[in-house]
Structure 1
Amino acid sequence: MLSPTKKRASLLTSGAAVAGLLISSLASGGVSYAADNESCRPDGLYKTPGVDVPYCSVYDTEGREKMGADHQRRVIGYFTGWRTGKNGEPAYLASDIPWDKVTHLNYAFGHVGGDNKLSVGTDGPDNAATGMTWPGVAGAEMDPAYPYKGHFNLLNKFKKQHPNVKTLISVGGWAETGGYFDDSGKRVDSGGFYSMATNADGSVNQAGIDTFANSAVDFIRKYGFNGVDIDYEYPTTMKDSGNPLDWQLSNARRAGLVQGYAVLMKSLREKLDRAGATDGKHYMLTVAAPSSGYLLRGMETFQMQKYLDYVNIMSYDLHGAWNEYVGPNASLFDDGKDAELAAANVYGSAQYGSLGYLNTDWAYHYFRGSMPSGRINIGLPYYTRGFKNVQGGTDGLWGKAATTGCPAGSGLTKCGIDNLWHDKDTAGKESPAGSNPMWHAKNLEKGIVGDYVTRYGFPADTKLTGAYARMYDATLVAPWLWNADKKVFLSTEDEQSVGAKADYVVDRGIGGTMVWELAGDYGWNAAKGQYEPGSTLTSLMYDKFKAAAPYGAKKAGTTLPTQAVDVGLEFTDFKLGDSNYPITPKLRITNNTATALPGGTEFQFDYGTSAPNNASDQSGFGTKVIASGHTGSNVGGLKGDFQRVSLKLPAWQSLAPGATVDLSFNYYLPVSTPSNWTVTIGGTAYALTGDLARGTTTVEPGTTTPPTTPPTTPPTTPPTTPPTTPPTTPPTTPPTGCAAPAYTAGSVYNAGQTVSHKGHGWKAKWWTQNEEPGTTGDWGVWQDLGAC
């Protein structure tokens, strides 16, 4: 998550330029779980084997988070520890939070100490988290029920009044991923996440991970948090990613960072599950995840999402003054004109599918490929990004600005972009990032010099140079301020853009929004005639969400089989860094059943429309996309969530129990872990245990009985005779007046197949089974072809 010194790598090519009825065994080796808690487990969430995790303390029997009757979607606010008012600048304390409008608060930041333990520094009166007090500040009185003071005391004080709000300790951030700030404010280059999770030789540092995970459990128990939010920036194989101060250490470990991250998240999940079972409440685990296609390209298939209650997408910092391309900070959609992407020939490349990937919609669909929409939250910035000396473009948009630094100085024209929150390097030199709270941007828009500027070191007689005109692009869903006199472009957010993003969340069943940071929101002070910190944007989202339908709780876009078999799928052997384009991992299939899979066995799966529909293999498995959720450019948004793929074991390649086979997979833009798998064995389609789907029972192929023990000795000869009894075929006589075959429950239908049902014709958009036409809605699998 952002700290005052945050920036993002963005260019992909820049490195080269029910409800409690079933007891599931899932992938845990057949361990049975208590049905009452299993009924509340979110779809696709990993469960620690042998632990009765108290999911129902947080989730309902649909696997949806319980947040209060007026909170159908999440509003997650980052609350920072450094806006204490002690430095003379305006404070933003727990008493300033709009508690009735938010659902979760992430405290920024804890860090990984030199001992690999979670820490917020040494206790004492100067520690903002645990020791500081604010005498005389209304609402900031300490609650004597707690043995600590500071922000943590106040968070728990207000949680008593708002018990539906959950708090999480966020660890890391841009400045403290690879180190931390000591009690004097000096940064200590300890290695942070990089060395805690990954050894110098690239191997997993299990000891460091265990130390951290144990300390995280102790920490949240001590300070009353509901979970842990990991902001590791960034465990990617792409060189020179993250804070430049960390590169010397992080670049040497690149080959092992993703694996270390995955083990870290698994260890945290398991330790939090065990602690929650003891304490009688489910502890949450979340992450702040990058939205940059460049960074995600080096994170394999983000295979740690199964350990997360939800993911917060940092869908901002998509353009900024760290390179020359002038564009919006956090556009919702692509417009086909992004100068950075055009320079890399993304729009002209058939391999890319003309998909612009520097926007929120693309990042959402990346994660949607492996998670329910309700376990995803999109990020919104309550701060600006800016450029000075912009040349070309339309009112600056898609123009260029030289990436020269600027010295720190006085006056309201520091760096030429009138910013309050200054990005500085360790030498104190300011960079032209244009980072401002949104309330200051609103004053710039209205030509107001607020009375607060003197508290940031500006002269009392400061005047603005030139005028800031508000611009808006409806295709991008992006506002900005343009100062034609100074050639300054400031990317902003306001009611129009935030309202459109809230509608996007509601319409697509997304879990909610995350904002960095609450102190940037604005409100109008009529008495002073200026904008100040407030809750305008947060309240707008609350109002949009409170009457929304429940969020999407299912990972699959259609109904999958309820019987699952234990066939393992793993994407592995990713190339590193700039060598990983196109993306060509091995797909490893392991038969963990007691039944041999004959040659020709078909697997189907979905991957997100963040990548075009041109996936293939180089191993003779006939990989092909059989249903496309989106084709063509993504101007104005991707139209569907999934590309569905089919592949088959070669005719000569049977797979005995316990055996493994690899194929070389090939795709061109990043996707998260492919999901919604089916395998057809003996004419019956099964789900796979690895999808961790709700409501599935693991069975042996050809039976309805859960396996008792795994196979120990594979048969010497795999079966070669196909089943003698073909599967039941659907009736071929359509209803009177309808030409297509009648729909039959239980039958499998693939994309493009048509049926007749209740006097209408219907066309399947993708693979489906047991999903009755007419019941799936406009966005469901069946397209209504009209009366027949």
Structure 2
Amino acid sequence: MRATPSVRHRIAAAGVAAALAVTGLTAIATTTTATAATDCATPWSAATVYRGGEVASYSGQNYRASWYTQGEVPGSTAWGAWASQGACGGTSTPSPSPTATTSPSPSPSPTVTASPSPSPSPTATTTPSPEPTTDPGTTNPDEKCRPDGMAATPGVDTPYCDVYDADGREILPNGLDRRVIGYFTSWRTGKNGQPSYLASDIPWDKLSHINYAFAHVGPDYKVSVNADAPGNSATDLTWPGVAGAEMDPTLPYTGHFNLLAKYKKANPGVKVLPAVGGWAETGGYFDGDGNRVASGGFYTLTESQARMDVFAESVVDMIRTYGFDGIDIDYEYPTSNKDAGNPDDFAIANAKRGQLFSGYVALMKTLREHLDAAGAQDGEYYLLTTATPSSGWLLRGMEVYQITEYADYVNMMTYDLHGSWNEYVGGNGALFDDGKDAELTAGGVYTAYEGNGYLNADWAAHYFRGAMQGGRINMGVPFYTRGHQNVQGGTYGMNGRAPATAGTVCPAGTNGKCGDGADGIDNLWFDSDPQGNAIPAGANPIWHVLNLEKGVVGDYAAAYKVPTTIEGTYTRHFDPVSKNEWWWNAQTKTFLSGDSTEAITAKADYVNSTGLGGLMIWELAGDFEYDQAKGQYEMGSTLVDLMHAKFVGGGAYDATKAERAMPTQALDVDLEYTEFALGDSNYPIAPKVVFTNHGATDIPAGATVTFQYGTTDTGKMSDWSGYKTTSTPGRSGPNVGGLGANFHTATFTVPTGGIPAGGSITNQLKWALPVAQFSNVTITVDGTEYATTYDHPRGVTVVDLPTGGTGGTGGTGGTGGTGECTAAAWSSTTVYTGGALVSHAGRTWKAKWYTQGDTPSTVGDANPWADQGAC
């Protein structure tokens, strides 16, 4: 999350074949109180090996194994391998399954080295369930508040309604309809006379969330902030004489955590989460003396399930001790690319590239289960969030990002898209591609991918939108600059080149091809090399670059040990296509790019019009206000105020993955993504995708499987399996100014033999540019369309197919109309903005973006309307 002095687009991806089996809705253990009427299965035996899906009876109940198990007594733990299927063999009323309140933390999930949920043996292949199975999550009274697409933890009554409303949208404070998430860093303490930024400086009345940066993975695999080290800033520091920084004397600790707790009491709706990791502490940590220990951090934590359980339990302890609302994971990065991430970590990370991503998935699953269990005990919901990369190169190596079912939301690091790690000059955080990116042009990306550029926030947002609803995606914005000096060419430097000067020793990770980073007064927030020298990077808070624009040397310059004179003049520029904002000094050929008022306005408008969840800020201390008396810009809240004004009354964010009415009946079918190639070898992207039928009835040959995937790809998915997968593009062509549509749609026919009950088929699919997990998977049998439990949908009934199905040629399915259209009729003369609803031709339609005169329809590569179903 913090300054990333490496080849950002050559520094990430992720592991091989994460053996993730998404927890199906029907695997959730439920409490049974009804009178038994079902025959008992073969009695459980301690000596028998059971595989996932197999059923045994014990003490008057049938149990279904969720994964491989031997010797575990059914019902002995709420977190074990066995899920109760209800009473059997008579009229006795069985005891309920253990609830989450019986144990503070779940037993370990299966380890990363073995599949957590092997394909079950076929069971009940000829007899369907006597009654349709309603989503077992509804046994939890808070199921109605569970966000669409999030996996419920089996056996736990997770208190979703503590944080989410009945539509699965997060309840936000301060009148906000969208999130404003600010990272608050530990190190701006006022040391050496530099300006401090404390919890008392945070605009609590304008934010929704605050992420404290950073905690780390300690040597004992527990989360840590060096609380045992005297003088640590988190729990043992005070600021005497600083107004607003007076400690709360009722708390047994001081430091940032004291002030955060103090101000949270006064602003209870604002959620505070510690962030773990970041650029500097992903693969190690800083000890109490400030020395970095190369312990391996996340890279070694995720080597074993036992370590991850220790970590998760310590996270729960931290949340309870300090009154936090959850945890944010900033793992930079679980990649399969050699020399990716922080160069300080290469010696550890390079040896583990093939396992890192599966470890990340296991870590997020483990955290989700522990947090849900603790939340059920405490009567509070605990958030699990994660910072994600945004570059297409980085994401190519991270499989299909199979953690979206465990995270409440993702915070996209849609910044550091260009910097001094190479010579190509570009925007720090472009919103859109403009078709002119110098780095992508030099790398042949536009030529290779039909004019699509992947170094912009719109591309990244559509990557995640393919896997999750817009409301669980937050766009990162930089309250700081990055830049070069001695720039050659470009438009006011933009898209020019700035090769390193002769004799420059390039930092590790740049392959000796770094750029000429801006230094001196143009590098106020510099990082230091191991010798303590400033690393030229053009890193400045926005308030400093605004002073440069005014020709003002702030009174803080000497404290940062930078020059106190300005050479040349700085002019501000804004590109109407990419929405890049930057400053250009024609005399020194210096280029500095970051987000001020124009870029933030454009991005806030984009969030409102596309249904995204909000904006995430790195970092709050870069915001500004103008001190009239001093005649200079300083730390303030101008940009946060602007976001708040945009997001009050901006409209509710998108709460569903699908853009159409989905079937209300679902088959218990899961997907697993396997056998990705590593690193740069992952082209074309061609994993084996396993479709597993966990139901009691075969899915017949000839059934149609349909799914949607992100428009970050070119939309030409096919397969190497002979299933004749076809793809209907949602859009095509270059993405200059934005991708527009959210989904491509793919379809294939179930082959001869069908998908037997408890069995699976494997389709080796292939595509070009990275996409996240598939969404809106449906199966059509004999003209009836079913959703699948893979998507963790809300409000569905899980059913088995009737026996004797023939597959057929598919159908449209859906839930049908209501007989009454409530939205206003579409008019060709009306201007509609993103989110607007209209009725037309007996159906309801939702505008995806600004449109006028476009007839609502699903036809066309870039139509602006999403079908919401019949009315």
Structure 2 vs 1, CA of residues 6 and 213 (structure 1 numbering), >3 Å: closer, same or farther? farther
Q: Could you say which residue in structure 1 is the equivalent of 2:62?
A: none
Distance in 1 between residues matched to 2:632 and 2:848, nearest whole Å:
45
Q: Could you say which residue in structure 1 is the equivalent of 2:260?
A: 155
Secondary structure (helix, strand or coil) at the match of 1:259 reads helix
C-alpha contact 1:387 1:488 (8 A) present in aligned 2: yes
Secondary structure (helix, strand or coil) at the match of 1:783 reads coil
Structure 2 vs 1, CA of residues 589 and 124 (structure 1 numbering), >3 Å: closer, same or farther? closer
Aligned letter for 1:130?
A: T
Aligned letter for 1:10?
A: H
Distance in 2 between residues matched to 1:116 and 1:729, nearest whole Å:
51
Q: CA shift at 1:403, angstroms?
A: 3.5
Secondary structure (helix, strand or coil) at the match of 1:336 reads coil
Matches within 5 A, 1:107-122: 107-122=212-227
Secondary structure (helix, strand or coil) at the match of 1:262 reads helix
Secondary structure (helix, strand or coil) at the match of 1:240 reads coil
Q: Could you say which residue in structure 1 is the equivalent of 2:27?
A: 28
Distance in 1 between residues matched to 2:245 and 2:825, nearest whole Å:
64
Q: Could you say which residue in structure 1 is the equivalent of 2:609?
A: 507
Offset from partner CA, 1:525-584 (integer Å, 9 cap, x none): 000000000111110000000111111100111111011101221111101111111111
Q: CA shift at 1:131, angstroms?
A: 0.8
Q: Could you say which residue in structure 1 is the equivalent of 2:738?
A: 637
Q: Does 2:782 match 1:682?
A: yes
Matches within 5 A, 1:73-88: 73-88=178-193
Aligned letter for 2:388?
A: A
Distance in 1 between residues matched to 2:12 and 2:359, nearest whole Å:
25
Distance in 1 between residues matched to 2:841 and 2:347, nearest whole Å:
57
Q: Does 2:555 match 1:451?
A: yes
C-alpha contact 1:611 1:667 (8 A) present in aligned 2: yes
Q: Could you say which residue in structure 2 is the equivalent of 1:131?
A: 236
Q: CA shift at 1:115, angstroms?
A: 0.8
C-alpha contact 2:709 2:743 (8 A) present in aligned 1: yes
Q: Could you say which residue in structure 2 is the equivalent of 1:358?
A: 455
Aligned letter for 2:816?
A: A
Aligned letter for 1:46?
A: A
Q: Could you say which residue in structure 2 is the equivalent of 1:538?
A: 640
Structure 2 vs 1, CA of residues 53 and 478 (structure 1 numbering), >3 Å: closer, same or farther? same
Distance in 2 between residues matched to 1:727 and 1:432, nearest whole Å:
60
Distance in 2 between residues matched to 1:30 and 1:276, nearest whole Å:
17
Matches within 5 A, 1:267-278: 267-278=366-377
Distance in 1 between residues matched to 2:663 and 2:690, nearest whole Å:
22
Segments of structure 1 that go 5 or more residues without pairing to the other structure are: 16-23, 199-204, 704-718, 731-742, 748-756, 762-769
2:316 to 217, 236, 244: 217
Distance in 1 between residues matched to 2:436 and 2:825, nearest whole Å:
46
Distance in 1 between residues matched to 2:435 and 2:680, nearest whole Å:
25
Secondary structure (helix, strand or coil) at the match of 1:348 reads helix
Distance in 1 between residues matched to 2:162 and 2:174, nearest whole Å:
16
Offset from partner CA, 1:392-411 (integer Å, 9 cap, x none): 11111111111355899xxx
Distance in 1 between residues matched to 2:221 and 2:811, nearest whole Å:
59
Structure 2 vs 1, CA of residues 217 and 729 (structure 1 numbering), >3 Å: closer, same or farther? closer
Distance in 2 between residues matched to 1:398 and 1:40, nearest whole Å:
46
Q: Could you say which residue in structure 2 is the equivalent of 1:471?
A: 573
Calculate the TM-score normalised by the size of structure 1. 0.87
Matches within 5 A, 1:768-787: 773-779=842-848, 782-783=856-857
Q: Does 2:630 match 1:528?
A: yes
C-alpha contact 2:433 2:456 (8 A) present in aligned 1: yes
Offset from partner CA, 1:417-445 (integer Å, 9 cap, x none): 62111122223233221111110010011
Aligned letter for 2:523?
A: N
Distance in 2 between residues matched to 1:496 and 1:433, nearest whole Å:
23
Q: CA shift at 1:122, angstroms?
A: 3.6
Matches within 5 A, 1:189-338: 189-198=294-303, 205-338=304-437
Distance in 2 between residues matched to 1:234 and 1:587, nearest whole Å:
24
1:596 to 698, 702, 708: 698
Secondary structure (helix, strand or coil) at the match of 1:439 reads helix
1:434 to 527, 538, 546: 538
Secondary structure (helix, strand or coil) at the match of 2:747 reads strand
Offset from partner CA, 1:181-222 (integer Å, 9 cap, x none): 111111000110000102xxxxxx111111111111111111
Q: Does 2:475 match 1:378?
A: yes
Q: Could you say which residue in structure 2 is the equivalent of 1:750?
A: none
Q: CA shift at 1:137, angstroms?
A: 0.7
Offset from partner CA, 1:141-193 (integer Å, 9 cap, x none): 01112111100010010011111100001000000000001111110001100
Distance in 2 between residues matched to 1:182 and 1:278, nearest whole Å:
33
Secondary structure (helix, strand or coil) at the match of 2:529 reads coil
Segments of structure 2 that go 5 or more residues without pairing to the other structure are: 15-22, 31-135, 508-516, 819-823, 829-838, 850-854, 860-864, 866-871
Structure 2 vs 1, CA of residues 147 and 760 (structure 1 numbering), >3 Å: closer, same or farther? closer
Aligned letter for 2:431?
A: L
Q: Which moved more, 1:450-459 or 1:500-509?
A: 450-459
Q: CA shift at 1:661, angstroms?
A: 1.6
Secondary structure (helix, strand or coil) at the match of 1:39 reads helix
Distance in 2 between residues matched to 1:365 and 1:69, nearest whole Å:
28
Q: Could you say which residue in structure 2 is the equivalent of 1:736?
A: none
Q: CA shift at 1:353, angstroms?
A: 2.9
Distance in 2 between residues matched to 1:414 and 1:469, nearest whole Å:
16
Q: CA shift at 1:771, angstroms?
A: 11
Q: Does 2:802 match 1:702?
A: yes
Q: CA shift at 1:77, angstroms?
A: 0.2
Distance in 2 between residues matched to 1:415 and 1:605, nearest whole Å:
50
Aligned letter for 1:644?
A: T
Distance in 1 between residues matched to 2:4 and 2:234, nearest whole Å:
21
Q: Which moved more, 1:364-373 or 1:25-34?
A: 25-34
Q: Could you say which residue in structure 1 is the equivalent of 2:157?
A: 52
Aligned-pair identity in percent equals 53
Q: Could you say which residue in structure 1 is the equivalent of 2:107?
A: none
Q: Could you say which residue in structure 1 is the equivalent of 2:464?
A: 367
Distance in 2 between residues matched to 1:485 and 1:760, nearest whole Å:
54
1:551 to 633, 637, 653: 653
Calculate the TM-score normalised by the size of structure 2. 0.79
Aligned Cα root-mean-square deviation (Å) = 2.8
C-alpha contact 1:592 1:657 (8 A) present in aligned 2: yes
C-alpha contact 1:213 1:271 (8 A) present in aligned 2: yes
Distance in 2 between residues matched to 1:469 and 1:176, nearest whole Å:
36
**Runs of 4+, deviation exceeding 4 Å:** 4-8, 11-15, 404-408, 719-723, 726-730, 757-761
Offset from partner CA, 1:571-626 (integer Å, 9 cap, x none): 11101111111111001111212222222211101101111111110111111112
